[in-house]
Amino acid sequence: MDSQTHTGATAPQKLYTAAAVQELDRLLISQQQIPGLTLMKRAGRAAFDRLRAHWPEVNRIQVFCGGGNNGGDGYVIAGLAAQRKLPVVVYTAVSPEKLTGDALEAYRFAEREGATMVSDLAELSTADGNAVLVDALLGTGFSGELRAPVDTAVAHINASAAPVLAVDIPSGLNADSGAAGEAVQADLTVTFIGRKTGLYLGRGPALTGEVIFDDLSASDTVYHKVPAHLHRFDGGSLEQLPVRAADSYKNQFGHVMVVGGDHGYGGAALMASEAAARAGAGLVSLASRPEHVAAALTRCPEVMARPVVSGQELEPLLELPSVIAVGPGLGQSPWSEQLLARAGRTEAALVLDADALNILAGGRVLAGVQRDDWVLTPHIGEAARLLNTSKAEVVTDPVAAARAIQQKFSGVVILKGAGTLIAHADGVDLINSGNPGMASGGMGDLLTGVIAALIAQGMTLPAAARLAVWLHGEAGNRAAAEGGQRGLLATDLLSHIRRLVD
């Protein structure tokens, strides 16, 4: 959760890979003539000031320093604390003799100011007082698996009850992908010069705690020289639906048709339909197995439920909608494949989800089809199937996976997760939204309905995808705030979707 507050519309945040941030670092030193040590001092000062602001009662700190410049930032923090008579102990994970360059200068500063240095974790105790732990073990230079003794230092930090500030990035978290094995669980992460993509992807959101960014007074010129890897949107930076004119009428707001609901899966199709209605679509119809029609009429009479026994029966219905969402409760039977094949040939914009994606991945239906006017919404497993690769591969580099699916199928790809990626022809966007309570059946069906409704109301596919992902997650957060996460049900979100879409 980024602490930046939003008073009005703001630009999306730029996210960078570790390599890009190191390029920014290099440019700052070469173009802006800012010595590396000055950058390190600014980084350490920024982190120290944020530590004092976040924990005003702190009365001692323990800094865990690695062997590189992340450790260097830690030594600056320790020196500043000692200067201000704030008791500080530094755990030197790598012997100071091995330090070089700016990190060695920073170590000398901490030593001159009287910071206590220990090389044995057993000498550290946080039993009493308001201690804060500072993780300066690894930053953007981390690669591979955690090596000793950093792994034991990470475990020591995580075993402590004391709050943790991570310098630049929690140690053990991959700065690009957000993948992590053993990694520091931080309460606050202060990151410098460029926001790393890994802070907002995969395990990043769970490990960073609050993220605070400090540009260390870098000038805009360097940012123009290094392209961002992702653009991160939040509530303040999203394109919204236009205000409705007084003389509006329902056809102006499009017609969404949901195609799904095979035997036993009527609920998914109905939830997607109701979500489309609650997100403002002018008309919503549902094409599903006949046994679901009665329940649909009872639950939501505003949805025009139509029984479909075969693909032929679906054909005449496909002329009506401007957007067709195929997938919720669709199943993978011959019936399911027939419906996807026919829907896939219409002029309407498409949203493909769940089993529609699994059928598409099978290659028998719509093989080789690329459309600019469809949105695919895979989760990690469906993405792996669409790319004919493993889930582990997708988790290792989710941005590459989202891009690859977009290149293979064209259109817009939403790769769902704690950080959701939206890949389109002009790049890849990221939205952090939702909460663990949303890991339950039906949540994806709601998102599908909201995406379709926003497209039906005239938004471009990328803008509709971004707003739908944010709105869906925000509805989940508000529903969880109202009644808890564990028992959160998809239909709890509907009333919040209605409020948020206004």
Ligand X SMILES: NC(=O)C1=CN([C@@H]2O[C@H](COP(=O)(O)OP(=O)(O)OC[C@H]3O[C@@H](n4cnc5c(N)ncnc54)[C@H](O)[C@@H]3O)[C@@H](O)[C@H]2O)[C@H](O)CC1
Residues making up the binding site for (6S)-NADPHX:
69-73, 139-145, 168, 268, 329, 379, 445
Q: Which is nearer to ligand X, 192 or 233 (CB)?
A: 192
| Structure token digits, residue 303 | 């949805």
Task: Find which of K ion, ligand X, none residue 171 binds, CB within 5 to 8 Å per kind.
Answer: K ion
Q: Give yes or no for residue 67 binding ligand X (CB under 6 A).
A: yes
Instruction: Supply the minimum distance, in Å, between the C-beta of residue 87 and ligand X.
Output: 23
Q: What's the residue count for the chain?
A: 502
d(CA 135, CA 169): 9
Q: Give yes or no for residue 25 binding ligand X (CB under 6 A).
A: yes
d(CA 319, CA 16): 44
Q: Give yes or no for residue 143 binding ligand X (CB under 6 A).
A: yes
Q: Which is nearer to ligand X, 216 or 357 (CB)?
A: 216
Residue with tokens 């923090």: 77
Binding-site residue positions for AMP: 416-420, 444
One character per residue 180-199, x = contact with ligand X (rule: CB under 6 A): ------------xx------
Instruction: Supply the minimum distance, in Å, between the C-beta of residue 67 and ligand X.
Output: 3
Task: Find which of K ion, ligand X, none residue 141 binds, CB within 5 to 8 Å per kind.
Answer: ligand X
Q: Give yes or no for residue 147 binding ligand X (CB under 6 A).
A: yes
Q: Which is nearer to ligand X, 146 or 405 (CB)?
A: 146
Q: Which is nearer to K ion, 106 or 414 (CB)?
A: 106
DSSP state string for 116-167: EEES-GGG---SSS-EEEEEES-STT--SSPPTTHHHHHHHHHH--S-EEEE
Q: Which backbone phi and psi does 323 adopt, to 5 degrees?
A: -140, 135
Q: Give yes or no for residue 272 binding ligand X (CB under 6 A).
A: no
Is 285 in a helix, a strand, or coil? strand
Task: Find which of K ion, ligand X, none residue 150 binds, CB within 5 to 8 Å per kind.
Answer: ligand X
| Structure token digits, residue 131 | 């201690």
Task: Find which of K ion, ligand X, none residue 474 binds, CB within 5 to 8 Å per kind.
Answer: none
Alpha helices in 410-460 (DSSP H): 443-456
CA 290 to chain CA mean position, Å: 38
**CA trace torsion 338, 340, 343, 349 (10° rounding):** 180
Structure letter (DSSP) for residue 237: G
By CB under 6 A, name the binding residues for ligand X. 21, 24-25, 39-40, 43, 66-73, 138-147, 150, 167-168, 192-193
